[in-house]
Structure 1
Amino acid sequence: MEDDAALPEELADALVGVQRLIRRRLRRDMAAPQLRGAEVEFLRLVVERPGIGISDAAKELYLAGNSVSTLVNQLARQGYSLRETDPADRRAARLLPTPAAEARLSEWRGRRADLVRRQVSRLDEPDRETLLAAIPALRRLADSLREETERP
């Protein structure tokens, strides 16, 4: 690569920019209440892992336990999250999505896929092929970041 020194900054800026624009476009067309990025990430997690505990959710989302508790309370008031007592440990809570959360997330994913599909289709063939070829490397980068974050 010609300028390896520029790669980290350029890549990070491009990824953040794309993610931010996708979120903004989707929020604009979604029904109220508007959900913040952390709320959507939390809902994704509890839909993927229903019954997850607060400390495990905090670890997975790289948030403090009290931040996850705040998210749970906010989303419970909006009808998207449930907190149940863990039958194995009455002091612990299990976090569950509501059917409304599952529907909202499904709608979000469908709209996101449609948006990205439309935008990618506007690119020329070489750009589409480049993006497709980059996906495995981006996934490995995400895995590496996750592993590094999980090390003590």
Structure 2
Amino acid sequence: MAEHDRTDQAEDANELAELLVGIHRLMRRRLRHDLGSARLRGAQVELLRLVRGRPGIGVAAAAKELHLAGNSVSTLVNQLVAAGYLERRPDPRDRRAAQLTVTEAARQRMGEWDARRSELITRHVAALPAEDRKALTAALPALRRLTEGLHDELEAI
């Protein structure tokens, strides 16, 4: 591959990364603006999403999945239990371990956030020209594969 092509690819990759970070940050800020309840940190939301998708997951497995230290996840669990968003139950196979589940309050809050996020993105995508909407739709499979590749690389670490 020519040096010029590698430079162009690196610049495109950096622009993609910056745009994805920017979109995420702008969405978070916009959605937080209307939020009435106390703000959750990113790691707390990640843990809640993980537990919602895998009810009964343990702290050690959650730490591995999130690529965080076990004591960091334990701290997050304690915070979310105190806030009423997580429940911790003894694991019937190992009484020293705990199984995590989200509470109804967490399900409701996450559902509201997801609905507001969907509405925000839908509204802004709908305002784009048709060719931009088609380009975004066409890019979804590639973005999904990119996400899977990054996830697989993290798993190998």
Pairwise CA distance, 1:3: 2.1
Give unpaired runs (5+ residues) of structure 2.
1-5
Partner of 1:78: 83
- Using structure 2 for the length normalisation, give the TM-score: 0.92
When the two chains are superposed, the root-mean-square deviation of aligned CA atoms in Å is 1.4
Q: Deviations over 1:50-70 (max 9, x none)?
A: 110011111111111111111
Query: SS of 1:33's equivalent?
Result: coil
Partner of 2:109: 104
Pairwise CA distance, 1:130: 0.8
For 1:99 and 1:58, locate their aligned partners in 2 and report how far apart those are by CA, in whole Å.
23
Instruction: Write out aligned runs for 1:1-152 (5 A).
Output: 3-152=8-157
The one-letter amino acid paired with 1:15 is L
Q: Deviations over 1:93-148 (max 9, x none)?
A: 11111010011111110000000011111111111111111110000000001111
Pairwise CA distance, 1:35: 1.1
The one-letter amino acid paired with 2:44 is E
Partner of 2:3: none
Q: Deviations over 1:69-107 (max 9, x none)?
A: 111111111110111110100111111110100111111
Identity of aligned residues (%): 57
Give unpaired runs (5+ residues) of structure 1.
none
Aligned pairs, number: 152
For 1:55 and 1:30, locate their aligned partners in 2 and report how far apart those are by CA, in whole Å.
31
- Using structure 1 for the length normalisation, give the TM-score: 0.95
Runs (4 or more) in structure 1 with deviation over 6 Å come to none
Pairwise CA distance, 1:2: 9.1
